Structure 1
Amino acid sequence: METQLLSAGFRFSTLPPSYVRPEPDRPKLFEVADYHNAPIVDLGCADRTFIVQQIAQACQNYGFFQVINHGVLEEVVEKMLAVADEFFHLPVEEKMKLYSNDPSKTTRLSTSSNPPKETIHNWRDYLRIHCHPLDKYAKEWPTNPPSFREIVSNYCVEIRQLGLRLQELISESLGLDKDYINKTLGEQGQHMAINYYPPALSPNSHTAFQPTQTPIPLQFSSRTPKWRAFNCSRMANGWPLNPSLMHLSLILALSNTKYKSSWHRAVVNTHHARISVASFLCPSTSAVIKAPEELIGDESQAIYRGYTYAEYYDKFWSRNLDEGHCLELFKNT
C-alpha cells in the first residue's frame, strides 16, 4: 500500500517525499501571530439573549467560537482523549483490520485526509466512525481497547446534545425560530473523526487541516489571508470545545454568507504526539440546504443554490482539501 499508517510505532529518520509540500505552499509559522481575542461563549450564562448575541457576533466576524460551561463533563472528555490515545498505540496489525479509504464505510481507519485524491498528504491518522443512532453503529466500533465502546458512546451522547443546543442558539442568532435549523436538517446523523498527529520532523513542511480540542496552537484564517494562532488549552472550568462540531460551512449557506466560515489547521509537534476529536452533526441525506426566505427576500438573492446533503457529501469526498472550499461548487452563477 502506497500510503501507510503514521501511527505504526516507528519514527521516520527523514520526511517521506509524499508529505513534503512545495515551498510556496508550506505554512510559514514565523508569520503567524498569537491571537488573544478568540471569541469564547459562556453557555453557563443565565442571559440567553446575551449568549445569542455573542454567537451572532462570533459567526459574523470570525466564523468560529469556543464554548465553555458547555455541560460536557470533564471526566467524559478526559476518558475520550485517553481511550483515543490508547487505540492509536495498539499494534499496527490490530489497527489495520479497520483500514479503508472508502468514505461510505461507517467505521474506518485511514490516514491524511483523502489519500486516493491527494498528491501531498497531511501528517495524521484518523479513525472515523458513525455515532447515531448508537444501537446501529456502536457494534461496528473497535473492541480493542476493551473500554472503547462504552467511553466513546458516553462522549457521543453528551456531545450530540451540545451540538443540537448550539444549532438552536445559532438559529436564534439569525433571527429564526430556534427549531428552524434542526427541522431543516432533518433527522441528523453524527460522525466523529478521532485524529492522531504523530511527532513530526519539520512543522513547516506539513499541516493537517482539522479541528482540534487539544492544548496546542490552533490556527485560523478568516477575513484576511493571514493565519493567527491561539491556544485551545484547559481552563479552570474544564476543556473549551470548538464548535467545528457541526458543518459550519452548511450554516454559512443557510445564513446566505451572513455568517463566515474559516480555514483552520492544527500544527504538528516535533516532540510529542497529539490527539484531537472532531464531532459532526450531519443532515439527513435528503435534507435540502438553502437560505431561508427570511434572509434572502427572493431566490435571486441567494448566494448558493439549494442542494441536498448527499450532494455535498459526494462532492467533498471526490476532492482533496487543497482544491479549495467544497461549498464554492454550489454557488449560483
Structure 2
Amino acid sequence: MQSIPVPSVQELAKKSLIKVPDQYVIPEGESVLASNATSLPQVPVIDLSKLLSKDLKELEKLNHACKEWGFFQLVNHGVSTSLRENMKRGTVELFELPMEEKKKLWQKEGDIYGFGQAFVFDEKQKLEWADGFVTASLPTHLRKPRIFNQLPQLFRESIDTYSVELKNLAIEMMKLMGNALAIDPNEMTEIFTEGTLTIRINYYPPCPEPERVIGLKAHSDLGGLTILLQTNDVQGLQVKKDGQWIPINPYLVLSSSTLETS
C-alpha cells in the first residue's frame, strides 16, 4: 500500500475558506448519507466479559454479528479508561504539533507512514477532507525510526502499552469468533501468526461545505480485525448494512474482507 504526499487539510482549514478547493469536491452521487435514524437496525453490542464466562447466548450473538453484520460494538473489553484517555490525549496533541514539526513526520513518496493520506496515486486524484497519520506498532522491528522515534515520549509509551493490550484483545476475539462460528480457534489465529499491528489516526477538520466532501471514502479494511477508538462525541463513522448507512459510535470491532463468512 503506497501513496504520494498530499497537502495538510488541517492547515487548509485554517485559512477561513468559503468554498472547498476543487480537488476535494466529490462527484455528484458519491456522497454517503446516513439513512433515517428512526428506522435503522441497531449495531450488535457484544459483552466480552459474558463471552469469557462461557455465556452461550452471548456466543450466539457473536455468531449473528459475524455472519450478518461483520462488525459489532464491544463492551467490557478490559482496555482501561486511563489507557484509552492517554491515547486520545496523545492523538490530539499529535495533530496540534506546529507544521514545521509535522513536516518531519510527513509521508515520503511511495510510503504510507507518517502524516498524509493513503491510496493517493495521482496528483489529479480527488482527495479526502482529512489528515491521517500511520505508524507500524507491532512487532517493534517494523516501526520506522524516522516516524516513531520522533513522536512525543509519553505518546510513544502510550502506544507501546495500548498496542500490547489491543494485540491481546484481538487474539482473544479471534478465538471467540472461531468458537462462535464453529471454526477451530487455532485456525483463526494462525492466519495472523506474527500479530502485526498498525495504528492509523484520522483527523477531520471543520469544512465550509461539508456536503461536498467526504472524510473517508467507503471501503473495506485489509488485514484481520480493525478496532476503532473515537476521541470525541462527534458522530461521523458509518457502517453499511443491507444497503443502508448506519451511524455509530465505537469502541467498535470490524472484521476485514479477509475474514468474510457466509
Counterparts of 1:195-206 in structure 2, within 5 Å, are 195-206=202-213
In structure 1, what residue type is equivalent to 2:251? L
Partner of 1:228: 246
Which deviates further from its counterpart, 141-150 or 73-82? 141-150
Per-residue CA distance 1:138-188 (angstroms, 9 max, x = gap): 754153433121111111111111111111111112211222111133222
- Superposed CA offset, 1:5-25 (max 9, x none): 112372441211111111222
1:146 equivalent in alignment to 2:164:
no
Deviation at 1:82, TM superposition (A): 0.8
- Within 5 Å, which residues of 2 pair with 1:211-290? 212-214=228-230, 215=233, 216-224=235-243, 226-230=244-248, 232=249, 241-244=251-254, 248-252=256-260, 255=261, 258=262
Query: What residue is the counterpart of 1:110 in the other structure?
Result: 116
Task: Determine if the alignment matches structure 1 residue 10 to structure 2 residue 14.
Answer: yes
| In structure 2, distance between residues paired with 1:116 and 1:159 | 31
- Aligned residue among 34, 37, 41 for 1:33: 37
Percent identity over the alignment is 24
TM-score norm. by structure 1 comes to 0.65
Sort the Cα spacing of 1:27 and 1:55 in 2 relative to 1 into closer, same or farther, 3 A.
Answer: same
What SS does structure 1 have at the residue aligned with 2:237? strand
Counterparts of 1:228 and 1:61, CA distance in 2: 14
Q: Deviations over 1:97-125 (max 9, x none)?
A: 121155656x42213x3222572111111
- Structure 2 distance, partners of 1:2, 1:103, is 9
TM-score, length of structure 2 as denominator length: 0.81
Identify the structure with bigger relative contact order (alpha carbons < 8 Å, sequence gap 6+). 2
After superposition, the CA RMSD in angstroms is: 2.5
Q: Separation in 1 of the partners of 2:187 and 2:110?
A: 29
Q: Which runs of 5+ in 1 are unaligned?
A: 233-239, 259-333
Which residue identity is paired with 2:246? R
**Is 1:43 the equivalent of 2:45?**
no
